[in-house]
Amino acid sequence: MLEAGVTPRTLMKGLGLDPWPLDALGVYNPDQPRVPAGQTGGGEWTSEEGGGSGEDADMDDDDIVLVAEGSEPSTGIDRSTRERARAIYGETASLRPALIDAKVSPDKPSNWNAESAAQLATARAYVGVVSDRNPSVHRDSPGKSAGTLDLRAWDQAVAAARPSTDGSQLDPRITHFFLRQDGIGPQSPPWPGAQRILSLGPFFNVGGGDVPRGPATYIDFYGK
């Protein structure tokens, strides 16, 4: 569809999604050299009863976060945005959009399905909104020696966490989310009375966290 001139914003509108999270897309150079991923990632059910922060090598509030060629460093992030970004990064750093060609690297943006990329941007923003409603999520951030992929994931998290993100776009009943690999491992959260309200995906999980690696990763949003 991209070859036909359809933009990700148009695709999102066609899917019935608001295009406001698209700031998380389009700032990376697909030809930039890559390094092994090695990042931590999602799969944790969030609840008031557990699932607290994992260990992380935090950056100071005034640190400059490097980004890809041609874009500006992420500076001046306020604390609330940073904490929301840490939740998004901690839960989704290992996720990529669905792939166009399964034989091509999942870390190559030109191999990302545009509709899935738009959905993943939305999902990341929604994870940030949920982290405001329910702070018991896994939070993380890149270490001082983070590679290109970690920094790219962090910048995507920061973009999705910006104050321009409108929490009213997400159903007010939603207070939890659950990551799963379709057909492999747990398919629902261990939370009594949980009701799945929204499911976004599939995405490709490159590994890390509790969710198995694979091409059918979903983020389910729950409420009561």
Give the model confidence (pLDDT) of 135-173 as tens digits: 888 899 998 888 899 999 999 999 999 876 666 789 999
- What pLDDT shows up at residue 193? 84
- What pLDDT shows up at residue 71? 36
Element (H, E) at 217: strand 214-223
Say which amino acid occupies 224: K
Contact 221, 199 (CB under 8 A): yes
pLDDT above 70 coverage of the chain, percent:
64
Contact 113, 121 (CB under 8 A): no
- What pLDDT shows up at residue 17? 57
Contact 179, 88 (CB under 8 A): no
- What pLDDT shows up at residue 62? 36
- What pLDDT shows up at residue 136? 85
Give the number of other CB atoms < 10 A from CB of residue 30. 12
Low-confidence residues of the chain: pLDDT under 70: 1-76, 164-167
Give the number of other CB atoms < 10 A from CB of residue 95. 26
- What pLDDT shows up at residue 3? 53
